[in-house]
Amino acid sequence: MTRRILLVNGPNLNLLGTREPEIYGEETLTDVEAHVGRVAGDFGLEVRAVQSNHEGVLIDAIHEAREDCSAIIINPGAFTHTSIALRDALSGVALPVAEVHISNVHAREDFRRHSYISGVADCVIVGCGVQGYELAVRRLAAVLAG
Ligand code: DQA
């Protein structure tokens, strides 16, 4: 088994730290990716981090994960609520998937309550702030350990 996790962040998550900090906190995406890498390292796992504002780039990254990753952590941003293509990419590669949302999408606008991704995710972590990414690593490490 490849001991690597793909960490995918979708649109606008490159703005973490400055974007609506009252909702998303003050940590930057660089902070988050470094932390995820450290936690994964504790389990002997590597992380490849990808962020894009473009749906097709995210889909290509997910397809490439088939070659050299064993699991995927994804915060699809607003594509959560719109993208059947992203859902199909995730189900197509058939790797364990953890869906993460920094904010509690259920306590916000109605349109954020529906996720196209959750139906193909193995776990969904919502409203835990950026700590959700760490929880996702821990869960996927347990899943991969069998
Ligand atoms: C988000 C929630 C989405 O509704 C929103 O579009 C985002 C971030 C979250 O992490 O809470 O971009 O996925």
Q: Is the CB of 101 under 6 A from ligand 1?
A: yes
- pLDDT tens, position by position, 3-28: 999 999 999 999 999 999 999 999 99
Predicted confidence band of residue 1 (pLDDT cuts 50, 70, 90) = confident
Tokens of 121: 């995710």
pLDDT above 90 as % of the chain: 98
d(CA 3, CA 104): 30
Q: At 22, list the tokens.
A: 């009252």
Q: How far is the CA of 102 from the centre of ligand 1 (A)?
A: 7
Cα distances (Å, whole numbers) of residue 114 to 5, 24, 95, 133: 26, 19, 22, 20
In the chain the domains, ranked by start, together with CATH numbers, are 4-145 (3.40.50.9100)
Task: Determine the distance separating the centroid of ligand 1 and the alpha carbon of 16, expressed in angstroms.
Answer: 11
Atom number of ligand 1 nearest to Cα 132: 10
